[in-house]
Amino acid sequence: MIQKSTKIYIAGHNGMVGSAIWRTLIAKGYTNLIGISSKQLDLKNQQAVHDFFATEKPEIVIDAAAKVGGILANNDFPYQFLMENMLIQNNLIDTALQSGVEKFIFLGSSCIYPKLAPQPLKEEYLLTDSLEPTNEWYAIAKITGVKACQAIRKQFNKDYVSLMPTNLYGTHDNFDLNSSHVLPAMIRKFHEAKKNSEPVELWGSGTPMREFLFVDDMAEAVVFALENKLPEYLYNVGTGEDLTIKQLAKTIQKITRHQGEIVWDATKPDGTPRKLMDVSKMHALGWKHKIQLEEGIQKTYDWFLENLDRYKEVKL
């Protein structure tokens, strides 16, 4: 039974997801959290991870550490997205197992599912068809993590569970236009275009459908998995609702108060045509998201404005 004093290690605690999990656990009264920066501990270094576990002796591990990026970054650096993510998660999962950690929560991504899988995406569609080529390297790495945790459940009967979030966004997001995901990239583009009274150019046709979950809701799902023994090895985490990229752009345009034109560059790739999560398994257990998209985007934009000094303006 988990106590408020249970020693919980959050890998990736400085990232958008990890920091949200940290804040949520503190708010709920957890008092024994461990986090260490990537500068102090290289999770790709197996010996360093072993040494860290031997010293700190965490009782529960939440793996929110990953090398992440959008279509462009995944396409340009396939080897790093495959190998670095496998090294990070393999070191954490294996060291946790060797160290006697009974509970491990592995965070993945909805990109683990086949490109043309039926919608909404059910957990059982994993490995039933081929992946989206633009991010298959990251997806394959994450699939190996899911399977490693499933194997540990099966062979050692430990509570190792995988949560697959839909597209996450929120405070502490990455707004770098070369490596960010679609929603934060749009926030930055619309903000800077508003300042410069310019149109906004966006990739693709605007027709793909996407689902977005505010990161604080993801953190609540992680705490739910922490405080309950989930009966299966894999769970989708999302809203179960989606919209077109064009609708998303209109929503962000409204929130940022950008007045100009939106120009779609149809020569650029769209990625997966639709990616909606079936979240009925989490709903059946008692978890559901609370923050609606417009409210979440407003919170994210407010945070972006408060932290503008992190981002040098770029000419779009």
User: What residue numbers does the annotated binding site for NADP(+) cover?
Assistant: 12-18, 107-110, 142, 165-168, 181
Three-state DSSP state, 223:
helix
Res 266 pLDDT > 50: yes
Q: Is residue 311 part of a domain?
A: no
User: What residue numbers does the annotated binding site for substrate cover?
Assistant: 189, 203, 210, 270
Annotation says 113 is catalytic: no
Res 48 pLDDT > 50: yes
**Where does the pLDDT of residue 73 fall: very low under 50, low under 70, confident under 90, or very high at 90 and above?**
confident
Structure tokens at 213: 């979950």
Res 271 pLDDT > 80: no
Res 270 pLDDT > 60: yes
The residue type found at 258 is: H
**Where does the pLDDT of residue 70 fall: very low under 50, low under 70, confident under 90, or very high at 90 and above?**
low
Res 67 pLDDT > 90: no
Q: Note every long-range contact of 250-256, with CB atoms under 8 Å and residues 24 or more positions apart, other chains counting.
A: 251/293, 251/294, 251/297, 252/183, 252/186, 252/187, 252/190, 252/297, 252/301, 253/190, 253/200, 255/294, 255/297, 255/298, 255/301, 256/187, 256/190, 256/191, 256/194, 256/301
pLDDT > 90 in the chain, percent:
84
Read off the pLDDT of each residue in 220-226 and give the average, rounded to a whole number: 98
Read off the pLDDT of each residue in 270-289 and give the average, rounded to a whole number: 92
How far apart CA 60 and CA 62 sit, in angstroms, is 7
Q: Is residue 250 part of a domain?
A: no
Read off the pLDDT of each residue in 241-263 and give the average, rounded to a whole number: 96
Read off the pLDDT of each residue in 271-295 and give the average, rounded to a whole number: 94
How far apart CA 193 and CA 198 sit, in angstroms, is 5
Res 316 pLDDT > 70: no
- Domain enclosing residue 234, as ranges: 8-170+212-240+275-292
Read off the pLDDT of each residue in 140-156 and give the average, rounded to a whole number: 98
Q: Kindly tell me the sign of the dihedral angle through the C-alpha atoms of 125, 282, 220, 147.
A: negative
Return the minimum-mean-pLDDT range out of 47-56, 161-170, 266-275: 266-275
Mean pLDDT rounded to a whole number for the chain: 94
pLDDT per position as a tens digit, 115-141: 889 999 999 999 999 998 888 999 999
Q: How far apart are the first and last CA of the chain?
A: 53
Q: Is residue 143 part of a domain?
A: yes
Q: Is residue 202 part of a domain?
A: no
User: What residue numbers does the annotated binding site cover?
Assistant: 12-18, 107-110, 142, 165-168, 181, 189, 203, 210, 270
pLDDT per position as a tens digit, 297-314: 999 999 999 998 876 654
What pLDDT is stored for residue 312 in this prediction? 60
What pLDDT is stored for residue 88 in this prediction? 97
Which one is catalytic: 138, 160, 233, 235? 138
How far apart CA 213 and CA 234 sit, in angstroms, is 18
Structure tokens at 158: 């430990």
How far apart CA 164 and CA 287 sit, in angstroms, is 14
Q: Is residue 99 part of a domain?
A: yes
Q: Is residue 2 part of a domain?
A: no
Q: Is residue 247 part of a domain?
A: no
Predicted model pTM: 0.92
pLDDT > 70 in the chain, percent:
97
Res 315 pLDDT > 50: no
pLDDT per position as a tens digit, 87-102: 999 999 999 999 999 9
Res 231 pLDDT > 70: yes
pLDDT per position as a tens digit, 30-45: 999 999 999 999 999 9
Q: Is residue 299 part of a domain?
A: no
CATH number at residue 96: 3.40.50.720
Residue-level length of the chain: 316
Domain count, the chain: 1
**Where does the pLDDT of residue 7 fall: very low under 50, low under 70, confident under 90, or very high at 90 and above?**
very high
